[in-house]
Amino acid sequence: MSLRPVYITNTSIFLPNDPVSTDEMEEYLGYINNKPSKSKKIVLRNNGIKTRYYALDKQQKATHTNAQMTALAVKALFADDPAGLKSIQLLSCGTSSPDQMMPSHGVMVHGWLPEAEAIEVVSPSGVCCAGMHAFKYAYMAIKCGEAQRAVTTGSERFSASLVANVFEDEAQKLKELTENPFISFDKEFLRWMLSDGASAFLLSDEPNANGLSLRVDWIEGASYANEMETCMYMACEKQPDGTVKSYLDFTPEELIAKSIFSIKQDIKLLSDNIVPLGAKRIKEIFDRKGLSSDDIDYFLPHMSSEFFKPKIFEQIALHGATIPYEKWFVNLTTLGNVGAGSVYLMVHELFHSGRLKKGERILCLVPESSRFSYMYAMMTVC
């Protein structure tokens, strides 16, 4: 069986409502104990985010579900030809914040696309890498000839878990936050950096007849769960021995009292490992594929915070694969951290920027702190 080439022929996004400024955040998320946050400014200074999007109004009422936003992004791929939805043979949707545990996120998105046919639908679970896992499934399906046209998506609706009435009020010490930015990488940090939105790619075994396409050269990933404890988690509680206790093993009263459904992070694990492990893997990939930083024209790293930018640069350089800042393309400042959708949003903005030239190569990096997983992809403009 001969393998087929895979191209991204279009990209799209859906961002709910208007951008929310730093000053407006608590108007949408609500004030915990009716008091302004004492740590918000310090956390935002570290993460560098200026605006973000919420599928909420100022009464903390949802304006869209995750599935609805994702479906709107898919429809935007065919804005000039709605009938094109009938040509999709595969829908692959990644998210870490589905609207429900069952049915799957992907089939709920499909349910909002009545114009589409009965097709294969896939829903990888996970955190930030879920969008890339969805991308890889669609890529492989076209690569091996199982499909000729597929749509893959990355999306999040984090705001529902960040509103004041469901957010556990844990005191933050301003002095500690100032001295050690990693202290803010807990629930309070997550509250000021997570954002909502959806993005989609249209994949084909043929490039665009007119205009640019992105040839997907390869996608690969690595999990370090065999040697690393859980770092970021939800619907469970981390135990002293490093294991996690499932929400299924708590009483209804404990679920509320222990804030089991809040997103949490093991800050020490995060600070010591998230960047070094990802940089180490880049070096391994470069060596195996015979690549150097000279082969990269654009570097799209998914970052939860600008705080990590110099650390990523330094760690990659430490392994002898320096990627100068002028090759970096990120939009964290304007869109916030959209988790599984962030890399899609970067590719979309770059694809429609007018900057790309045929032959240029794009390297994407997506780290996931949940148990230290990483995904990488290389694309060539054609």
Residue with tokens 């900057």: 355
Widest Cα–Cα separation across the chain: 63
Angle (CA) 194-195-199 rounded to 5° is 130
- Mean per-residue pLDDT of the chain: 91
Cα–Cα distance, 184 to 227 (Å, whole number): 25
Whether the predicted pLDDT of 31 surpasses 50: yes
Q: In CATH, which superfamily holds the domain spanning 214-222+266-381?
A: Thiolase/Chalcone synthase (3.40.47.10)
The answer to whether the pTM exceeds 0.85 is yes
The pLDDT confidence band at residue 2, using thresholds 50, 70 and 90, is confident
Whether the predicted pLDDT of 256 surpasses 50: yes
Signed CA dihedral, 156, 97, 151, 112: sign only: negative
The CATH architecture annotation of domain 7-204 reads 3-Layer(aba) Sandwich (3.40)
Contact indicator for 175, 257 with CB cutoff of 8 Å:
no
Work out the burial of residue 239: count CB atoms within 10 Å of its CB; fewer than 13 is exposed, 13-18 middle, 19 or more buried: exposed
Q: In 77-223, which residue ranges form alpha helices assigned H by DSSP?
A: 105-111, 130-143, 174-179, 187-191
Q: Name the phi and psi angles at 64, rounded to 5.
A: -150, 155
CB atoms within 10 A of CB 221: 16
Q: Which has more pLDDT, 141 or 163?
A: 141
Two structure tokens written together for 49: 């985010």
Q: What is the pLDDT of residues 99-133, one digit of tens each?
A: 999 999 999 999 999 999 999 999 999 999 999 99
Whether the predicted pLDDT of 44 surpasses 70: yes
What does the domain layout of the chain look like in residue ranges? 7-204, 214-222+266-381, 232-264
3-class secondary structure, 323: coil
Closest CA to 151 of 12, 302, 297, 347: 12
